[in-house]
Amino acid sequence: MTDQKPFTGRSRQRRTRWAVALGDTVSRVLITVGGIGTIVAVSTVFVFLLWVVIPLFLPAHLGFIREVPGAWIANNGTEDAAGATETDANPVLEFGVDEFQTTGWVLDARGVVTSFEVKTGQSLTEQDLELESPLTAVTSVPGFSVHYLAGEDGKVREADFGFATDFLPSDDVSDEARALAPEQMMLYETEDDVGMLQKTTQGQYRFQTLNVEVGEAMEFFTAPVRLLTASMPGNELILAAMSAEGELTVRRHAKRENLLTGTTSWEESDSATLTIEKRNGSLPKHLLATGAGDQLFVIWEDGLLRRFNIRRLAKGLVAAEEIDLLPAAEAHLSHVGFILGQNTFIAADTQGELRSWFSVRDAQAATPDKTTLVSAQTYPPTGSPVTAFSASSRSRIFAVGSDDSRISIYQATTGSRLASKLLSADSVKKSTAPTSGASNGEKRQPITHLLLTPKDDGLISIAGDRFVQFAFDPRHPEATFTSIFRPLWYESYPEEEHVWQSSGANQDLEPKFGLMPLIFGSLKATLYSMLIGAPLALLAAIYTSEFLTPSLRVKVKPTIELMASLPSVVLGFLAALVFAPFVEEVISTIIAGAFCLPICMLAGAFLWQLIPEPWSVILARWRLAFIALCIPIGMSVSTLLGPVVDNVVFAGDMHRWLDGQIGTGTGGWFLLFLPLSFIGMGVISSRWINPWMRERSHRRLWSGKRFIVIDGVKFALLGVVSLLASWLIALGLNAFGLDPRGIFFGTYVQRNALVVGFVMGFAIIPIIYTIADDALAAVPEHLRSASLGAGATQWQTAVRIVVPAATSGLFSALMIGLGRAVGETMIVLMAGGNTPVMDWNVFNGFRTLSANIAVELPEAVRNSTHYRMLFLAALSLFILTFIVNTIAELVRIRFRRRIVEL
Amino acid sequence: MTALVPPNTEKPATTPAASRKSRRRGSPAANIIARGEPMVWLTGGALALCMVMIIGLLVLVLIQGSTTFWPTPVIRAHLQDDSIRQGEVVRRETFELTRAMTKNLPAESQQAALTWMGDRETIVAERMLVRVGNFELTNTHYEYVYPFEIQPDGLTYPEWAMTIERMEWGRFFGTPAQFIVKHTRVLPQSEQELKALLEFFETNADRIPAEYQQAVQSALSKVDEEYRRIRQKNSAAFLKKYPPAEGMQIFVVNDGGDPVESSAETATDAVGEVWHVWSDPSRAFAAYEVYHNDVRERRTEINSLEKHELGEINSRIEEGRLALRQIEMAHRVNLISPIDEAEFARLEWSGENERLANAQAALSQWTGRFGDASPLVVAANRILAELNEDAASRHAAWENLQNELREQVNALPPAASKALESMLKIQEASNYDTQRVMTQIDELRQENDRYEFRLQTAQGAEVALPLAEIVRAFPANKIGYFDRVRIYVSRWEEFLLDDPRESNSEGGVFPAIWGTMVMTVLMSLAVVPFGVLSALYLREYAKKGLVLSAIRISINNLAGVPSIVFGVFGLGFFCYIIGASIDELFFSAKLPNPTFGKGGLIWASFTLALLTLPVVIVATEEALAAVPNSMREGSYACGASKWQTIRRIVLPRALPGIMTGAILAMARGAGEVAPLMLVGAVKLAPELPVDHLYPFFHGERSFMHLGFHIYDLGFQSQNSEAAKPMVFTTTLLLIVMITLLNVSAIWLRGRLRNRFRVSQF
């Protein structure tokens, strides 16, 4: 073949030119790479969302950094053992570190403050506070650097353990300091101070020194102070102390600012005293004053708590409530401490059980101030007696140390244990002094002191004379599977609830990340819009494909598709600014219209049947126009009926009726059951009345005309009967004391689910309509022809042949509409009211996942828990719509395959 | 389906003597029930309702949007309590008044309402929402006027009530009181010189050496005498230039005095200004019309000078500053604050220097006039020498600072000193430029200040409105139909071409239109190539199988993923990861202020490109599928390669389909707002994303968007009543834009379908 000469005489190149081959290869590679790359790029959306969300669920990290011998602890311990409490060889009363974890300090019972370098444990300075007597109690106010020290002399002093930060000029620092690498630090001495010097990344020299200032003594008792607590609500200071003799004094101080010197001082404004009797021979062991300054808790070791309301001290101290914190009698309370905000306290007992308590308002409470203490959360137990406790100063995390040298960290609200770790094995081995508290004979030292560092990024513990530093990363403790999807008992809430409240007015208010209200909002919006949109769209599609003339069809379909391209922001704006106020005005008319319009159309159909056949055949061309005419008629009827509805159903004033101020539940039930009873009557009619009538007609008892009239009368009668039926049901339900208000109805809010449902109907109707119409149109013509040929009417063909054949297509149309409704943002954002409540009330607002993202994401701090939670919301939306759409798509593919086979 | 007549048209079954079979078929009940007319009507009703809803909505937007700009008459309502409301009627609405509700009314109108109601329990009437304007006086834009509040015959349409649209404070309603044109007397040189001399000695009185005090004083009194003589002569000549004319008053402002009507008695020897005043409303308005255009033009010029020239200068300085900041960061030195200090010192010196130069120039003239030996000249020389010293010390301070800086930089690599020098140069140049532009602006401002329109409000207060602040003014009750059309058109013009003002509730939406357009075009540039590539791969290259259908399902799915999810992705990925990395690499000098690490035009475009990718892929695939296989086979048979076939045969035929996809994507993108809220659309972006400043395209800038504009106005606006008309017009604009895009896509699709008919589902 190849050597045959071509008939044109020209020799033809038989091999593909290299340029063509190259072009082919290049294009193939390019298209393949580009195509697959694009598809991969799109799938990164999912991957990226996941990547941001995953850290939410990563466990907290608690890593051992170092262990240093605290020489000063040992020294003090030996030197001063006699002066300190007998049972504890360690005289450390309080300790703290700066926020960079460079320098720490300890305060011992002598009133000596020792600062030390955290890294080496080497002591830097020693400062005697020169108190006249040994210290017996120390308390601090969370969030402030001030501490209150009480001594054997019965006096309380304010002491501010502040870290002074200084930036040294680079000319002044020593050569050794200059040699530091950025971020590196060293012990540094200036002429008058010793502290830590750190070179920052900006090349500055940050010099940190501990600065302790002790205020004037405030005299409380003559006897030693045994317990002390403080709180600072607003510009007040509340100090409560108990002496060794059981005398309890609470003092309220107001802040006074000296305008000349600029210093502030506390001036006593109110006080009260009470002597607490011994119980089982012992005085209370813990004393706590809440952060709001309104409650004082006096707690005995056996778990009894006596609550005092200290809002008005002038009335004296009267116990408001007594509660047993330890219903199980075996254990004793070992530690009680507040977490951030000083509202919730954690009670730890000698068996290692931990519970959180806070007070809630409860109108039913038996207490005089209608407040009661509740135990909101129980934490995974530590297993052995709790010996140390520390609460974070920036989040609701607390750490406890236990007798078997275990450290456990918890999130207070969610109740989850974030981390739990034994002090390293080394430290256990090295521990020298056997402790009295260890019960199981192992040489594990109890943790005597524990401290969560100011930035929540570290944990320092003291066990014996050793001192262990951990790195701590809580990650996102507020977000756990439980806290996101299950109701939680948040502080001051009366019960467990789903709450979304991402940010509060101040730091004390915990963020509440319950996604359920938002998911609920999305579902509510979807439900109401589908209730309105889906029937309209499906019915309209059926009419379009089965009854509309082709010439009209090509005009109608694009018009409705045009609706799909309406930007949702336009719909949202119209919903919020035009429809919402309008609907509020004419709500009863709209409710009347919901029933009047279909009834008008049915009535129109019965009238249409009365038209003699030859006429109706000619008029059929304009049937849609006649149907459309029913709309204004129906609307005017409903305008007339509106006041009637108002009077009959809503007792004359809808808003007040909805608020539950007037009327009974009958009207509401009546409205709810009206559609049901209409449907029921329809079923009864087609099941029993129509066959009966058909039979009469077969027997030639009724002529055609007469039948039509009877049919119309039947329709009218059924209408009246269903009205009566639903009224009766409503009366019955009302008699049982049931009221739909509070369930399906409730207070009217201008931007509500009804408005959103109505307007979102606009958004989803065209989508459902187009796909449903396509599906119906895809049913092969021969099926229709066969059905019509066999004598079926158009309606019969539509209902019995076309719709069943297209069911799966219609289903996928609904699913796609659903997918759109779930994720719609602008309409719900503008017209949904944006309150994250879980309430089925049609007339109340809601907040959807999508609107929440739009509102909060711009303000969310990058990589914060809030930010990741919003990503989780986006991911849930993505997954939700993906599932819905995939189902729709699979059904549609099946439908397409089946329809071809038909 | 074409059968309109029900196909089972049977004989009316009225003949009693029919066979059993035919009787069954012909039973009227079976017939009528089978036709299911009520159900058909219900389905038809659903369709009709949908149509009514969509058409009603469009008509609502169309009517509200298009009537907003129509100028309406100004109404004046004289109320029972003798107060007056004057303004445009925004709308009339019915309200229901019951006896109980009257208690909530203000005390004055309670009685009126009760008498008006008579013995009826409730009454339904019409109230008016009146836009009363004059916000700076009334503290409200709108007020309801109830029928019972109005005095009998209290509702009038004052002939000369003017509607005035202003740059600030919203509308103003009032009647023209006066229109004033001020003519300032330009001082001839001789007078000017003498005045300057007198002023010089007055300001520097404490510097005159003691021994010269006497001599200078006596010399100055002579100068003063001469000055007065010249001034009087000049004033008289100046007055003559402005003779009184018909319908116009002439006022004279003497130096430092109030304006007085010009007459023989009031003529003085020191005329500063002459005012032409038209007090008759028609003449005042006529004068306004004469001058307003020029004034507005100057105002526009001022705006453009401020925006463009000063903007350019600032961007130059910013650039130099960034270069320095980079060096600062690289070498850990401190440059920017010292350079600012030096600049401050220079400004001090240059101010001093200018004053000095002026005095010096004057001195040389006096020397010519009075001779070297005159005590005046000698004293002036002494004073000047002193001033010179001051200036020199300031100059030295500046030089010192500069030198210190140079020394510091010299230790660094040469690039640093180069940057410093260029910054210094930029500062010097920009200083000169700023001066020049500011002088220009000042001149224009002064010229504009010559015109003043004084109006009287309905309450009787007289308010002077600077002419430059008036956008548009017309006597609303006097103008004819054509004038109304003219105003209507000009308002549309302003809407389409101007910047917004009054927190977006007035003015135009040009930046939003521009932003939407640029964003949409950029988006389609990003989405179309990739969409087409993917579609080509899926349709022409990929092997059919499970994977392919999975991919196809996912792509269809993506079309259904909520747009806000893409917004979240865009913010997290484009802005916070890619943008932040770009910032770190190239714009570290600006950190911590993000350049690309925040929402911006390109990120918005990319996000929307992702969002609309499925639209393009699906449309392109459809178009590719519509190309008959026989054409491909024919091409292969002719020996064409696959790529040649695609390029020459398939793509040209699929082009309309691809374009349809692109247009549909643009329509979707233009209307999408939710993701844009997260990735860069803002309420007000003074700088356009594409402008005349190098590099012309600023992808990192935030932008305005029509859809976001609607959201912001309708939802976040303080005064939603005032914003409403604007939202409607913006909505109309957006809908028209999107509808045009969609209609063109549908038209294209229709053409494509007609060419290659294939079933669509």
Mark yes or no for CB contact B52/A631 under 8 Å: yes
* A115 at B interface, C-beta within 8 A: no
pLDDT over 70 (residue A81):
no
Alpha carbon of A772: minimum distance to chain B alpha carbons (Å): 10
Mark yes or no for CB contact B46/A558 under 8 Å: no
Q: What is the mean pLDDT of residues B161-166?
A: 88
**How far apart are alpha carbons A849 and A283 in whole angstroms?**
53
Tell me which amino acid residue B674 is: A
Closest CA to A741 of A630, A663, A686, A802: A663
Contacts of A602 in chain B (CB under 8 A): 38, 41-42
Q: Which residue has the higher pLDDT, B571 or B348?
A: B571
* A597 at B interface, C-beta within 8 A: yes
Q: Nearest-CA residue of chain A relative to B676?
A: A854
Considering chain A, what percentage of its residues have pLDDT values greater than 90?
A: 10
Q: What is the mean pLDDT of residues A432-448?
A: 53
Nearest by CB: B673 against A574, A826, A857? A826
SS3 A445: coil
Alpha carbon of A858: minimum distance to chain B alpha carbons (Å): 6
Give the best residue of A39, A647, A812 to mutate against chain B (max B CB count within 10 A): A39
What is the DSSP annotation of A848-896?
A: -HHHHHHHHGGGSPTTSHHHHHHHHHHHHHHHHHHHHHHHHHHHHHHHH
Q: Which two tokens stand for residue B186?
A: 């330009």
Nearest by CB: B572 against A48, A569, A788? A48
The residues, any chain, with a CB within 8 Å of residue A513's CB and separated by 6 or more, are A478, A479, A483, A484, A500, A502, A865, A866, A869
Contacts of A777 in chain B (CB under 8 A): 761
pLDDT tens figures, B87-112: 888 888 888 777 777 777 777 677 77
pLDDT for the residue numbered A454: 84
Nearest by CB: B564 against A548, A850, A896? A850
Q: Which two tokens stand for residue A882?
A: 């993906």
**How far apart are alpha carbons B64 and B729 in whole angstroms?**
7
Q: What is the mean pLDDT of residues A805-827?
A: 89
pLDDT for the residue numbered A79: 37
pLDDT for the residue numbered B266: 58
Q: Which two tokens stand for residue B14?
A: 């009225």
Check: CB of residue A197 under 8 Å from CB of residue A100.
no
Q: What is the mean pLDDT of residues A516-526?
A: 91
pLDDT for the residue numbered A115: 82
* Residues 685-724, chain A, touching B (beta carbon < 8 A): 690, 693-694, 696-698, 700, 702-704, 707-708, 711, 715
Alpha carbon of A826: minimum distance to chain B alpha carbons (Å): 6
Q: Which two tokens stand for residue B639?
A: 């020996």
pLDDT for the residue numbered A108: 82
Contacts of A690 in chain B (CB under 8 A): 29, 33
Total beta-carbon pairs less than 8 A apart between chain A and chain B: 390
pLDDT band at B26 (very low <50, low <70, confident <90, very high): low
Alpha carbon of A821: minimum distance to chain B alpha carbons (Å): 9
* Residues 858-897, chain A, touching B (beta carbon < 8 A): 858, 862, 870-871, 874, 877-878, 881-882, 884-886, 888-890, 893, 896
Which regions of A503-566 does DSSP assign to beta strands (E)? Answer: 512-513
Mark yes or no for CB contact A565/B43 under 8 Å: no
Find tokens 């003779």 and name the residue. Answer: B243
Mark yes or no for CB contact A549/B2 under 8 Å: yes
Q: Nearest-CA residue of chain B relative to A782?
A: B1
Mark yes or no for CB contact A613/B708 under 8 Å: no
Q: What is the mean pLDDT of residues A593-607?
A: 88
Q: Which two tokens stand for residue A317?
A: 């101290």
Q: Nearest-CA residue of chain B relative to A770?
A: B761
pLDDT band at B12 (very low <50, low <70, confident <90, very high): very low
Give Cα separations from B336 to A429, B313, B422 (angstroms).
Answer: 58, 18, 13
Residue count of chain B, please give it.
761
pLDDT for the residue numbered B572: 92
Contacts of A556 in chain B (CB under 8 A): 47, 51
Tell me which amino acid residue A99 is: E
Mark yes or no for CB contact B32/A707 under 8 Å: yes
Q: Which two tokens stand for residue B188?
A: 């001839």
Question: Which letter does DSSP use for residue B187 in this model?
Answer: P
pLDDT over 70 (residue B755):
no
pLDDT tens figures, A12-64: 667 778 888 898 899 889 888 888 887 787 788 889 999 999 998 888 888 88
Give the best residue of A38, A54, A850 to mutate against chain B (max B CB count within 10 A): A38
pLDDT band at B683 (very low <50, low <70, confident <90, very high): confident
Tell me which amino acid residue A26 is: V
The residues, any chain, with a CB within 8 Å of residue A807's CB and separated by 6 or more, are none
pLDDT band at B756 (very low <50, low <70, confident <90, very high): low
**How far apart are alpha carbons B450 and B467 in whole angstroms?**
9
* Residues 22-51, chain A, touching B (beta carbon < 8 A): 23-24, 27-28, 30-32, 34-36, 38-39, 41-45, 48-49
Closest CA to B6 of B37, B47, B39: B37
The residues, any chain, with a CB within 8 Å of residue A206's CB and separated by 6 or more, are A165, A166, A167, A168, A197, A198, A199, A200
Alpha carbon of A544: minimum distance to chain B alpha carbons (Å): 7
SS3 A363: coil
SS3 A762: helix
Considering chain B, what percentage of its residues have pLDDT values greater than 70?
A: 93
pLDDT band at B662 (very low <50, low <70, confident <90, very high): confident
Tell me which amino acid residue B27 is: S
Q: What is the mean pLDDT of residues A387-396?
A: 85
pLDDT over 60 (residue A239):
yes
Find tokens 């207490």 and name the residue. Answer: A367
Q: Which two tokens stand for residue A154?
A: 């019965």
Query: What are the φ/ψ torsions at residue A483 (nearest 5 degrees)?
Result: -70, -25
Give Cα separations from A210 to A127, A260, A267, A459, A832 (angstroms).
Answer: 10, 27, 27, 20, 54
Mark yes or no for CB contact A885/B555 under 8 Å: no
Alpha carbon of B52: minimum distance to chain A alpha carbons (Å): 8
pLDDT for the residue numbered B565: 92
- End-to-end alpha carbon distance in chain B: 18
Sort A178 into a burial class: Cβ within 10 Å, 0-12 / 13-18 / 19+.
Answer: exposed
Contacts of A579 in chain B (CB under 8 A): none
* Residues 820-849, chain A, touching B (beta carbon < 8 A): 820, 822-826, 829-830
Contacts of A547 in chain B (CB under 8 A): 40, 43-44
Mean pLDDT (chain B) is 82
* A550 at B interface, C-beta within 8 A: yes
Q: What is the mean pLDDT of residues A325-344?
A: 81
pLDDT for the residue numbered B484: 92
pLDDT over 60 (residue A90):
no
Sort A552 into a burial class: Cβ within 10 Å, 0-12 / 13-18 / 19+.
Answer: middle
pLDDT over 80 (residue A806):
yes
Q: Nearest-CA residue of chain A relative to B547?
A: A36
pLDDT tens figures, B389-404: 888 888 888 888 888 8
Nearest by CB: B677 against A819, A858, A885? A858
pLDDT for the residue numbered B754: 64
Contacts of B575 in chain A (CB under 8 A): none
pLDDT for the residue numbered B10: 44
pLDDT for the residue numbered A329: 63
Mark yes or no for CB contact B8/A569 under 8 Å: no
Find tokens 């080509």 and name the residue. Answer: B536
Mark yes or no for CB contact A793/B35 under 8 Å: yes
pLDDT for the residue numbered A78: 37
Please give the model's pTM, rounded to 2 decimal places: 0.86
Among the residue ranges A57-66, A69-78, B482-491, the one predicted with the least confidence is: A69-78
**How far apart are alpha carbons B654 and B662 in whole angstroms?**
12
Mark yes or no for CB contact A562/B571 under 8 Å: no
Tell me which amino acid residue A605 is: A
pLDDT tens figures, A831-866: 888 888 888 888 888 999 999 999 899 888 888 888
Q: Which two tokens stand for residue A683?
A: 């079923």
pLDDT over 70 (residue B355):
yes
Mark yes or no for CB contact B12/A613 under 8 Å: yes
- Nearest 10 degrees: CA dihedral of A495, A499, A505, A507? 80
Q: Nearest-CA residue of chain B relative to A698?
A: B27
Complex-level ipTM: 0.86
**How far apart are alpha carbons A95 and A102 in whole angstroms?**
14
pLDDT for the residue numbered B21: 43
Q: Which long-range contacts (CB under 8 A, 24 or more apart) does B354-358 make?
A: B355/B387, B356/B384, B356/B387, B356/B388, B356/B391
The number of beta carbons lying within 10 Å of the beta carbon of residue B636 is 14
Check: CB of residue A838 under 8 Å from CB of residue A516.
yes
Q: What is the mean pLDDT of residues B456-480?
A: 87
Question: Which letter does DSSP use for residue B712 in this model?
Answer: I
Tell me which amino acid residue A559 is: T
pLDDT band at B5 (very low <50, low <70, confident <90, very high): very low
Element (H, E) at A548: none
pLDDT band at B3 (very low <50, low <70, confident <90, very high): very low
pLDDT over 80 (residue B760):
no
pLDDT tens figures, B508-565: 889 999 899 899 989 989 999 989 988 998 888 888 888 888 888 888 888 888 999 9
pLDDT over 50 (residue A435):
no
Check: CB of residue B673 under 8 Å from CB of residue A826.
yes
Give the best residue of A47, A204, A569 to mutate against chain B (max B CB count within 10 A): A569
Mark yes or no for CB contact B564/A577 under 8 Å: no
**How far apart are alpha carbons B135 and B24 in whole angstroms?**
80
Tell me which amino acid residue B460 is: G
* Best-predicted range by mean pLDDT (B100-109, B573-582, B692-701): B573-582
pLDDT for the residue numbered A669: 87
Closest CA to A523 of A747, A823, A803, A281: A823
Mark yes or no for CB contact A794/B43 under 8 Å: no
Mean pLDDT (chain A) is 82
* A853 at B interface, C-beta within 8 A: yes
Q: Which two tokens stand for residue B131?
A: 């836009």
Question: Which letter does DSSP use for residue B452 in this model?
Answer: E
pLDDT for the residue numbered B120: 77
Measured on CA atoms in the order B60, B62, B63, B64, is the torsion positive or negative? positive
* A526 at B interface, C-beta within 8 A: no
Mark yes or no for CB contact B28/A703 under 8 Å: yes
Alpha carbon of B671: minimum distance to chain A alpha carbons (Å): 5
pLDDT tens figures, A176-194: 777 777 777 777 777 777 7
Check: CB of residue A67 under 8 Å from CB of residue A461.
no
Check: CB of residue B664 under 8 Å from CB of residue B745.
yes
Mark yes or no for CB contact A823/B565 under 8 Å: yes
Among the residue ranges A104-118, A235-249, B604-618, the one predicted with the least confidence is: A104-118
What is the DSSP annotation of A261-319?
A: T--EEEEEEEEEEEEPPPBTTB---EEEE-TTS-EEEEE-TTSEEEEEE-S-GGG---E
pLDDT band at B442 (very low <50, low <70, confident <90, very high): very high
Check: CB of residue A726 under 8 Å from CB of residue A673.
yes
Check: CB of residue A219 under 8 Å from CB of residue A139.
no
pLDDT over 50 (residue A439):
no
Q: Which residue has the higher pLDDT, A134 or A528?
A: A528
